[in-house]
A and B are shown apart, each in its own frame.
Chain A
Amino acid sequence: MEKFTAHTGLVAPLDIANVDTDQIIPKQFLQKTTRTGFGQHLFHDSRYLDNAGTQENPDFLLNKPQYQDASILLTRENFGCGSSREHAPWALEEFGFKVIMAPSFADIFYGNCINIGLLPIKLPEQQINELFSYSQHSELTLLVDLTQNTIATITANNEKHVYTFSLDSFHQYCLEQGIDSVGWTLKKLDTIKAFEANMPAWQ
């Protein structure tokens, strides 16, 4: 996993609550056996007018010219609910997103993001509302500094607001260090073996 320390990027404001992982990556694209090739199908049913994905829907946020280079997704509550498919964060990451900001996330989706190095940031609803309002008036760029746990806004008219966010300390460590989670746990194999030696036989 690549290390994540800080990221500066353009915000795409997706003003929809309860976005489920079926919407993020519909089932017909889950048949790949590789970890790549999902970005082109991100939000397929909203993004394309046809099933083949050749006709872009001009009304969909990510098809608008001003969001072509967006790398921070600003969205609403309960983002990533539903299916456990890690293909959803894979698709977001491959599309170019590095950070997802919302008032709340579904648990499995949140964990999947951490595990692939896509930074999920929870902010209070009021702050999310503020960011939505900044992004409505002009292009909003954010500087997300994981080492300081801060988000600084850079708007077209140079307004600056700073927010702080918190992350579980171990999640933060893994992201900053780009930890290979499996390799990390395998260093503790002796402890796992000791646990196994004490398990009831029926288990």
Chain B
Amino acid sequence: MTASTKNNSNTATTLYDKLWQSHLVEVSNSQAIEGETPLIYVDRHLIHEVTSPQAFANLKFHNRPVRHPERTIATMDHNTSTRSLEINAAGEGAANQLRTLAKNCQEFGIELFGIGHKNQGIVHVIGPELGLTLPGTVIVCGDSHTATHGAFGALAFGIGTSEVEHVFATQTLRQTKAKTMKIEVNGQVGAGISAKDIILAIIGVTGSAGATGYVVEYTGQAIRALSMEERMTVCNMSIEFGAKAGLIAPDETTFAYVKGREYAPKDELWQQAVNDWKALKSDKNAVFDAVVTLDAKNIKAQVTWGTTPGQVTAIDSKVPSPDDFKEAVEKESCQAALTYMGLTAGTQITDIEINKVFIGSCTNSRIEDLRAAAAVVEKYSTQGKKVSSKVDAIVVPGSYRVKTQAEQEGIDQVFINAGFEWRLPGCSMCLGMNDDVLTVGDRCASTSNRNFEGRQGRGSRTHLVSPEMAAAAAIEGHFVDLNAS
């Protein structure tokens, strides 16, 4: 990582600067105190059942309305059962939160996509697929993976419940401007390398807190070549190395994806929007506070071995040892991670056996993710191979629309015939708030975003991988180097 020299005479700005400036609510001097944190305008507020109830309760306590219910969209995702459409199916606590969300949305006039609604799904899957996520907007949600929407050139980030309340009441947020980091992935990735591998490789370089205090912009040939769904996978995991938000400048790929979606601007408004969106890119001479460069051709399929996303390595390598690290903190973290993960330094990654597979989450549950995993499954099927008898594997589509699309394409049958369970949409085993939970000692190949201790269930062990890698692990019972076989 290199810090560029700031040139005061340089008026070139980054994409983040432009988004910031266009959303800065200028408060006159007479209204503000010295050094007051700036207010920025929020265009879209996405909410779900877990982080909103206390915000609604405070609004009621103060007798305040939601200032712009039409800029707010609610879905049910974190707690929902993936086995049943029955609201009580995931337990009393979940049902209470889901009912509370429904009641609050009705009371405050907010559109809700509840269980069974055609638009229901993981908040970061439905925003883009409905055209609610637009370039040049500020999008917030009480969920740290809101950075996903940055794939469209929107400034999108996760907020706490006090901030959810602030957005409800004012449609603004108080924000300190972040530093900027450019992450350039040059050249082309090799065959079979996914967006998940790109972002895991980036986190492997920066470390789990390498971008704390920064908004990152992903650029370079390998990023530009990605589809929108792949870009979402990359931006989704920005928080996993501490970034406030992740951005990719919008281009023709973006416009083509957004056009015609249910909530996207239409006709003349569409033309105006695209004209505005075309200006959304960092100027050629824009100066970033930090720059990270990766060569795409060196990126291999990635597997996490530890308990932070930064503890990651290539599929053809070995589990590291504390001696491989320089810093004392890293050595200790490595040792603690090996103990928790039940791994021995020097073990080949491909020798690690797993007994659970989760394909889903806001990182990797979109139609392209499911197609990619299904393609691997189909390849094995032609050899007569199915999910290993030692493995339980579930596939959880990100939304009803994804589920329906996959079923129209026959993807559900590919999974079901190979021994995977095909479930209903939701956050599911990514965080295990419903009953999709691992138990002590379970080892899971997961397409989700966090391998923290206990994340998928107390005492369980998570290895983060791409959908393709998860599918292959389900069948072989261990990690597989798909490029070597």
Known interface pairs A33-B54, A170-B36, A200-B276. Does A108 touch B160 (Cβ–Cβ under 8 Å)? yes
0 or 1 for each of B222-240: is its CB under 8 Å from A? (1 = yes):
0000000000000000010
Q: Is the beta-carbon distance between A86 and B161 smaller than 8 angstroms?
A: yes
User: A188: which of B31, B91, B143, B308 is its contact (CB, 8 Å)?
Assistant: B31
CB of A159 within 8 Å of the partner chain: no
Q: Is the beta-carbon distance between B208 and A81 smaller than 8 angstroms?
A: yes
User: A202: which of B41, B213, B276, B450 is its contact (CB, 8 Å)?
Assistant: B276
Residue on B nearest A50 in the bound complex, by CB: B458
Known interface pairs A78-B209, A108-B158. Does A26 touch B458 (Cβ–Cβ under 8 Å)? yes
A76 contact set on B, CB distance < 8 A: 329
Instruction: Write the nearest CB–CB distance from A182 to chain B, whole angstroms.
Output: 5
Q: Which of A63-71, A111-119, A137-145 has 4 or more CB atoms under 8 Å from chain B?
A: A111-119
Q: Is the beta-carbon distance between A22 and B455 smaller than 8 angstroms?
A: yes
B458 contact set on A, CB distance < 8 A: 26, 45, 51
CB of B318 within 8 Å of the partner chain: no
Instruction: Write the nearest CB–CB distance from A57 to chain B, whole angstroms.
Output: 13
A186→B62 CA distance, assembly (Å) = 12
B144 contact set on A, CB distance < 8 A: 82-84, 108
Instruction: Write the nearest CB–CB distance from A63 to chain B, whole angstroms.
Output: 17
Residue on B nearest A22 in the bound complex, by CB: B452
Q: Is the beta-carbon distance between A182 and B25 smaller than 8 angstroms?
A: no
CB of B165 within 8 Å of the partner chain: yes
Instruction: Write the nearest CB–CB distance from A201 to chain B, whole angstroms.
Output: 6
Q: Is the beta-carbon distance between A191 and B27 smaller than 8 angstroms?
A: yes
Q: Is the beta-carbon distance between A84 and B158 smaller than 8 angstroms?
A: yes
> Which of B2-50 touch A at CB < 8 Å?
25-28, 31, 33-37, 39, 41, 43, 50
CB of B193 within 8 Å of the partner chain: no
Residue on B nearest A185 in the bound complex, by CB: B170
A26 contact set on B, CB distance < 8 A: 454, 458
A192→B38 CA distance, assembly (Å) = 12
CB of A93 within 8 Å of the partner chain: no
A71→B56 CA distance, assembly (Å) = 30
Q: Is the beta-carbon distance between A28 and B433 smaller than 8 angstroms?
A: yes
A30 contact set on B, CB distance < 8 A: 50, 78, 433
CB of B176 within 8 Å of the partner chain: yes
0 or 1 for each of A185-203: is its CB under 8 Å from B? (1 = yes):
1111101100110011111
User: B170: which of A23, A108, A170, A182 is its contact (CB, 8 Å)?
Assistant: A182
Q: Is the beta-carbon distance between A84 and B143 smaller than 8 angstroms?
A: yes
Q: Is the beta-carbon distance between B209 and A104 smaller than 8 angstroms?
A: yes
A156 contact set on B, CB distance < 8 A: none
Q: Is the beta-carbon distance between B163 and A115 smaller than 8 angstroms?
A: yes
B166 contact set on A, CB distance < 8 A: 181-182, 185
A84→B47 CA distance, assembly (Å) = 13
Residue on B nearest A182 in the bound complex, by CB: B169
Q: Which of B183-191, B266-274, B464-472 has 4 or more CB atoms under 8 Å from chain A?
A: B266-274
A200 contact set on B, CB distance < 8 A: 272-273, 276
Q: Is the beta-carbon distance between A78 and B208 smaller than 8 angstroms?
A: yes
Q: Is the beta-carbon distance between A31 and B96 smaller than 8 angstroms?
A: yes
Residue on B nearest A203 in the bound complex, by CB: B43
A107 contact set on B, CB distance < 8 A: 178, 212-213, 242, 244
Q: Is the beta-carbon distance between A169 and B171 smaller than 8 angstroms?
A: no
Instruction: Write the nearest CB–CB distance from B79 to chain A, whole angstroms.
Output: 7
Known interface pairs A45-B453, A185-B166, A188-B27. Does A86 touch B209 (Cβ–Cβ under 8 Å)? no
Known interface pairs A27-B431, A31-B93. Does A86 touch B35 (Cβ–Cβ under 8 Å)? no
A173 contact set on B, CB distance < 8 A: 33, 35
CB of A32 within 8 Å of the partner chain: yes
Q: Is the beta-carbon distance between A22 and B35 smaller than 8 angstroms?
A: no
0 or 1 for each of B414-444: is its CB under 8 Å from A? (1 = yes):
0000000000000000011100000000000
Q: Is the beta-carbon distance between A27 and B433 smaller than 8 angstroms?
A: yes
Q: Is the beta-carbon distance between A112 and B37 smaller than 8 angstroms?
A: no
Q: Output the residue of A31, A85, A185 with the most chain B CB within 10 A.
A: A31
A33→B36 CA distance, assembly (Å) = 32
Instruction: Write the nearest CB–CB distance from A97 to chain B, whole angstroms.
Output: 17
List 9 A-B pairs, Cβ < 8 Å. Answer: A20-B308, A33-B53, A33-B100, A34-B54, A81-B208, A84-B160, A106-B212, A191-B39, A201-B272
B→A interface (CB under 8 Å): 25-28, 31, 33-37, 39, 41, 43, 50-51, 53-54, 57-58, 62, 64, 78-79, 91, 93-94, 96-97, 100, 134, 136-137, 142-144, 157-163, 165-166, 169-172, 174, 176, 178, 208-209, 212-213, 239, 242, 244, 265, 269-270, 272-273, 276, 308, 329, 332-333, 431-433, 450, 452-455, 458
Across the A-B interface, give the 6 residue pairs with the lowest CB-CB distance, nearest first. A31-B93, A169-B35, A112-B160, A33-B53, A86-B160, A115-B162
